[in-house]
């Protein structure tokens, strides 16, 4: 074991010991023993209430305007009061569908403050996708922007669901105007009667199915995950004192550039809720533009940027990135932890060698918790996804479910205090994902643990494409293609792409004599699904696609042939 890993082990033990800030205790949840942080808040309303202490500190900057914590909570209190007036009760869902903007966070916090369950929807979704998600969660209220309102045709199709719209558009009858609500001040409401085991959040994940699944997490799971982010920061600081000293010497208050969607754990947990809890500033980009990002880093004195691998690659490629006058305030870059391009890791290490840059591995189903490392720990093993969290158990198993020793590759199973309750109203999917006897969640990712406790991700079992950090279920795109009568078979898979990480590629078998071409098929998908799900390349064939004796499409064979053909 190296000196650094020994130091990390000592710091971890120090931080989690009895009486320490991150003391870990044995507890029980759902009838199973778990380890959890003693000092984490038990519920989101409690956590949110603590953030009122930040007062007039700046919280969110968007389009040149900054919301202080005081202003933010004044708007959240007003919205919370209206939600209560409308009869929204603890446990009922409040859906959110809009671009990243302060009002997104205001509605989320307002819903959580009264014990309702925020249910952020994928704002990239088109009408059918948004209606599917709304039908799934059956919210009492949908808060959306005017663009999403137009996509659903002004109708949630959910009986009794009210619509609250953000934006300057003239609104139809029956749609409530956010501006009117916040113009009616209200004081803070008493904490609701909700406990750690009560539902706290629903986030959507594509998984490997043709329909997005709602991931239901308890109040405890979300709060434990947020406290775990604080633990990651603490262990990083104590193992990278030089980088922390440099940041402190600069006198810059922490400021994060937020470009990833808030409906992801990477945006919601690691950025919005963490900043809320710790009194940090967020700067929202309306849409991702690497050139604009450089300008914002300079003008807003950004200290941290976390994004999908493709976003970080595009940022590094900007001419001004290495100019201290442009990005000299940037103390760290945060990266996703699976399928990281080797070129990106090398570039970050070469161009930010002494920074607090880091990496992490987690899923929506674990509220983003799993493994992480930053600073010197990231530099020590940059190809890993970091060290396993103190409140997460990891088991690497073979195809029979038997545990494998360190260094051997297998499927990664996770278990712990941050694990979801299950998929919302989908017991079959829950049973398929979580072992009912011992509570292990099957991630579908292939990797291994080394002898120092670092987790490495090497492959993915699940049929999911990761384009610019957006997870795309291949089955969903295939289902869309198969709606065309002339399409006989469709296989959708990922191929490596330097700009997006992975590109959506389709091989489509059509009827003899069909005039469908790749462009027409792309247009069809684009008319029904979000733009990022449209295949970058479509191969149209008239012969049957290869299948195994059980009738399963041989996607690996198709993918290999496509990559070989592209190189040729």
Q: What is the CATH number of the domain that holds 70?
A: 3.40.50.980
* CB-based contact 359:2 (threshold 8 Å): no
- Kind of pairing, strands 32-37 and 24-29? antiparallel
**302, 322, 355: which is the final residue of a domain?**
355
What is the torsional sign of CA 30, 35, 39, 41? negative
HSE-CB for 529 with a 13 A CA cutoff: 24
**290, 320, 355: which is the final residue of a domain?**
355
162 and 251 belong to one structural domain: no
Judged against a pLDDT cut of 90, whether residue 213 lies above it is answered with yes
77 and 177 belong to one structural domain: yes
* CB-based contact 281:255 (threshold 8 Å): yes
178 and 260 belong to one structural domain: no
Q: How much is the pLDDT for 17?
A: 98
**Could you read off the pLDDT of 49-62 as tens digits, one per residue?**
999 999 999 999 99
**324, 355, 386: which is the final residue of a domain?**
355
Phi, psi angle pair for 365, to nearest 5°: -65, -20
159 and 262 belong to one structural domain: no
| C-alpha separations of 539 from 8, 118, 489, 490 in Å | 50, 41, 12, 10
As a whole number of angstroms, the distance between CA 50 and CA 44 comes to: 10
Is 326 within the bounds of a domain?
Answer: yes
Q: Residue 478, class by beta-carbon neighbours within 10 Å (0-12 exposed, 13-18 middle, 19+ buried)?
A: buried
474-481 and 518-528 are packed helices; what angle lies between their axes, rounded to 10 degrees? Answer: 110
Q: 97 CB contacts (<8 Å, ≥6 apart)?
A: 120, 121, 123, 125, 130, 142, 143, 144, 145, 148
Q: Choose among 42, 96, 60, 90: nearest CA to 189.
A: 90
At residue 563 the predicted structure's pLDDT band, cuts being 50, 70 and 90, is confident
Instruction: Give the 3-state secondary structure of residue 238.
Output: helix
Q: 426 CB contacts (<8 Å, ≥6 apart)?
A: 213, 214
90 and 186 belong to one structural domain: yes
Question: pTM value?
Answer: 0.88
Residues of the domain holding 336 = 246-355
HSE-CB for 512 with a 13 A CA cutoff: 2
120 and 261 belong to one structural domain: no
| C-alpha separations of 120 from 78, 130, 342, 413, 492 in Å | 20, 11, 33, 26, 27
Is 345 within the bounds of a domain?
Answer: yes
254 and 347 belong to one structural domain: yes
As a whole number of angstroms, the distance between CA 189 and CA 360 comes to: 36
Is 362 within the bounds of a domain?
Answer: no
Q: What is the CATH number of the domain that holds 498?
A: 3.30.300.30
Q: How much is the pLDDT for 84?
A: 98
At residue 215 the predicted structure's pLDDT band, cuts being 50, 70 and 90, is very high
Look at the chain and report how many structural domains it folds into.
Answer: 3
* CB-based contact 535:504 (threshold 8 Å): yes
Would you give the DSSP letter of residue 242?
H
Least confident stretch, 97-106, 146-155, 419-428, 551-560: 551-560
Query: What's the whole-number average pLDDT of the chain?
Result: 92
The alpha carbon of 87 is separated from its chain's Cα centroid by a whole number of angstroms, namely 30
Judged against a pLDDT cut of 60, whether residue 285 lies above it is answered with yes
At residue 374 the predicted structure's pLDDT band, cuts being 50, 70 and 90, is very high
* CB-based contact 7:382 (threshold 8 Å): no
């Amino acid at each position: 074991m190296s000196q650094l890993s020994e130091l990390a082990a000592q710091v971890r033990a120090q931080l989690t010991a009895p009486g320490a800030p991150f003391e870990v205790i044995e507890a029980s949840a759902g009838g199973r023993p778990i380890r959890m942080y003693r000092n984490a808040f038990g519920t989101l309303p409690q956590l949110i209430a603590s953030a009122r202490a930040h007062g007039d500190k700046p919280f969110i900057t968007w389009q040149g305007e900054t919301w202080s914590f005081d202003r933010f909570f004044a708007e959240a209190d007003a919205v919370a009061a209206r939600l209560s007036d409308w009869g929204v009760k603890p446990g009922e869902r409040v859906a959110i569908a809009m671009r990243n903007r302060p009002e997104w966070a205001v509605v989320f916090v307002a819903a959580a403050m009264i014990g309702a369950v925020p249910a952020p929807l994928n704002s990239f979704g088109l009408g059918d996708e948004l209606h599917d998600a709304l039908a799934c969660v059956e919210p009492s209220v949908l808060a959306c922007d005017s663009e999403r309102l137009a996509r659903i045709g002004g109708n949630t199709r959910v009986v009794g669901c009210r619509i609250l719209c953000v934006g300057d558009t003239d609104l139809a009858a029956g749609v409530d105007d956010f501006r009117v609500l916040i113009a009616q001040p209200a004081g803070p409401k008493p904490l609701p009667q909700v406990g750690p085991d009560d539902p706290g959040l629903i986030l959507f994940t594509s998984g490997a199915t043709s329909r997005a699944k709602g991931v239901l997490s308890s109040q405890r799971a979300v709060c434990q995950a947020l406290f775990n982010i604080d633990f990651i920061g603490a262990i990083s600081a104590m193992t990278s004192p030089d980088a922390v000293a440099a940041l402190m010497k600069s006198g810059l208050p922490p400021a994060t550039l937020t470009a990833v969607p808030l409906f992801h754990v990477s945006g919601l947990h690691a950025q919005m809720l963490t900043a809320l809890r710790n009194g940090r500033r967020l700067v929202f980009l309306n849409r991702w533009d690497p050139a604009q990002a450089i300008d914002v880093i300079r003008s807003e004195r950004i200290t941290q940027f976390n994004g999908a691998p493709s976003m970080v690659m595009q940022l590094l490629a900007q001419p001004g990135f290495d100019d201290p006058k442009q990005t000299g305030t940037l103390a760290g870059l945060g990266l996703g932890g699976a399928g990281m391009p080797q070129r990106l890791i090398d570039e970050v290490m070469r161009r930010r060698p002494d920074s607090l840059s880091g990496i992490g591995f987690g899923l929506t189903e674990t509220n983003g918790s799993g493994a992480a490392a930053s600073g010197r720990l990231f530099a020590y093993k940059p190809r890993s996804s970091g060290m396993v969290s103190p409140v997460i158990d990891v088991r690497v198993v073979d195809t029979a479910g038997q545990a494998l020793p360190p260094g051997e590759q297998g499927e990664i199973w996770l278990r712990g205090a941050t694990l979801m309750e299950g998929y919302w109203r989908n017991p079959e999917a829950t049973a398929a994902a979580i072992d009912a006897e011992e509570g292990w969640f099957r991630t579908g990712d292939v990797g291994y643990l080394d002898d120092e406790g670092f987790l490495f991700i090497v492959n993915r079992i699940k049929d999911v494409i990761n384009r610019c950090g957006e997870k795309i279920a291949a089955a969903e795109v295939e289902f869309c293609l198969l709606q065309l009568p002339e399409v006989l078979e469709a296989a959708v898979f990922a191929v490596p792409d330097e700009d997006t990480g992975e590109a959506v590629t389709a091989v489509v078998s059509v009827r003899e004599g069909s005039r469908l071409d790749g462009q027409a098929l792309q247009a069809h998908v684009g008319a029904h699904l979000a733009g990022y799900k449209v295949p970058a390349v479509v191969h149209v064939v008239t012969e049957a696609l290869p299948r195994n004796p059980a009738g399963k499409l041989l996607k690996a064979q198709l993918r290999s042939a496509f990559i070989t053909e592209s190189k040729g």
